[in-house]
Amino acid sequence: MSRSDAWVTEVQVCPSILAADFGAFRAQVRDLMDAGARTFHVDVMDGHFVPVITFGHEVVSALADDVHDRGGSLAVHMMVEQPERFAAEYAKAGADSFTIHIEATRDIHMALQIVEETGMIPGVTLNPATPVSAVAEAARYARNLLCMSVSPGWGGQKFIKATTDRLPELRKLARTDAGVEADGGIAAETIVEVYKAGANRLTAGSAIYKQPDPGQAYLDLVEQVRAAGATIA
């Protein structure tokens, strides 16, 4: 596990390794940590809840030592059916938080409890078509509320503008020790409005990894958020 879990409520730009070069993702993570990144977003997809299949707990295990040794965190976003079934193996692999879709589990409260019992930080995600009210009760038990700002399953999609209306509602529901995260289409054109709408965790994939210099792209996004008034360590 990582350092103190205070990182959940900090303002951070979180690189999403879904957009990384899988042949060099460990080196890219190290380079981004050199630039200041501390929380890395790991998308896990099963080909059922979403059509795409991505990496599993082995990727978390491969990154854990490098990230944790430098005070970083691994935030796993589970886009799989009944994700609580896999909580123990991701905790063992070194995940620090484990965020699950409210649409993907039969009993969100039990699922969040299972996650918390592993020592990971439990979070809940909602898709763009799911009303914010659907997570009102679950928000009492979650330490991260993730608002999808694109349809889940693929990187590189365009930001859904209605997200900025949903984030203030999520912020009102969030516990004082919980973060609010926006994931999807976060780029230079959208990152400030998402931050101002209430998100403190700003997850960006293509806007970082698909640029000629990912480290500089990360720093450019950080600077935009700082210029908007955020304090970023």
Active site residue ranges: 43, 183
- Report the alpha-carbon distance of residue 200 to residue 170 in Å, rounded: 12
Residue 2 backbone phi and psi in degrees, to 5: -90, -170
Note whether 99 and 42 are within 8 A (CB): no
Between the two ends of the chain, the Cα-to-Cα distance in Å is 20
Residue 78 backbone phi and psi in degrees, to 5: -90, 110
The DSSP-derived string for 154-203 is -SSPPP-TTHHHHHHHHHHHS-TT-EEEEESS-STTTHHHHHHHT-SEEE
Note whether 210 and 19 are within 8 A (CB): yes
Residue 16 to residues 96, 100, 111, 164, 221: CA-CA distances in angstroms?
15, 16, 24, 20, 14
- Report the alpha-carbon distance of residue 140 to residue 184 in Å, rounded: 24
- Report the alpha-carbon distance of residue 202 to residue 222 in Å, rounded: 10
The distance of Cα 97 from the centroid of its chain, to the nearest Å, equals 9
Note whether 88 and 115 are within 8 A (CB): no
